[in-house]
């Protein structure tokens, strides 16, 4: 059996973030299982000359999951609030029943001096989830 493909964590994170931001516009990130190099495919961008044409059809490539697939969206917000601001849980749940939830959530955090703590929590959770996904898919992640 061959050694797992190595992937640079910073490349992985950049591809994940680009795909998460461009999700609505058809932006996807892929990792070849043999090399660990990341590729971005987007309806809005011209393909790089190095980008394989069979990204979406070949078993040689893994499509990076999005934030929802890794529970890094609303569920992560609720975990943070439960841990750091449990008295605000009802208010935050109410935010997520309407448009503009993240803006309201971040305004609340700013008013409580917790915005930086949120960013650290989100960053650590994202890194852990991406590393777990790589491990589950046979990819070895370089240190950050």
Instruction: Dump strand ranges (E) for the chain.
Output: 5-7, 28-32, 39-41, 61-63, 139-141
Question: What percent of the chain stands above pLDDT 70?
Answer: 90
Domain ranges of the chain: 5-64, 74-123
Question: Is pLDDT of 48 > 70?
Answer: no
Residues whose CB falls within 8 Å of the CB of residue 79, separated by 6 or more in sequence, listed in order: 125
Residue 123 · residue 80 · CB < 8 Å: no
Report pLDDT for 21.
76
- At residue 44 the predicted structure's pLDDT band, cuts being 50, 70 and 90, is low
Q: What is the pTM of this model?
A: 0.84
Place of tokens 């932006």: 27
Report pLDDT for 109.
98
Residue 90 · residue 84 · CB < 8 Å: no
Cα 3 to Cα 32: distance, rounded to the nearest angstrom: 14
Report pLDDT for 66.
85
**pLDDT: is 73 or 121 the higher one?**
121
3-state secondary structure of 28: strand
**Cα atoms in the 13 Å half-sphere on the side-chain side of 38:** 19
Question: Is pLDDT of 45 > 80?
Answer: no
In total, the chain counts a number of residues equal to: 144
Averaging pLDDT over each range in 24-33, 34-43, 80-89, which range is the top one? 80-89
Tell me what the mean pLDDT of segment 72-81 comes to. 95
Report pLDDT for 75.
93
Mean pLDDT of the chain: 87
């Amino acid at each position: 059996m061959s050694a797992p493909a190595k992937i640079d964590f910073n490349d992985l994170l950049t591809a994940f973030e680009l795909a998460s931001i461009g999700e609505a516009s058809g932006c996807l990130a892929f990792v070849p299982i043999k090399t660990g190099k990341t590729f971005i495919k987007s309806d809005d961008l011209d393909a790089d000359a190095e980008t394989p044409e069979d990204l979406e059809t070949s078993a040689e490539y893994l499509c990076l999951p999005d934030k929802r697939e890794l529970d890094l969206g609303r569920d992560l917000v609720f975990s943070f609030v439960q841990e750091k601001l449990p008295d605000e849980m009802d208010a935050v749940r109410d935010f997520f029943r309407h448009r503009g939830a993240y803006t309201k959530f971040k305004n609340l955090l700013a008013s409580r001096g917790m915005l930086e703590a949120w960013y650290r929590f989100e960053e650590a959770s994202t890194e852990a989830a991406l590393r777990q996904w790589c491990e589950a898919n046979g990819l070895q992640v370089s240190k950050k």
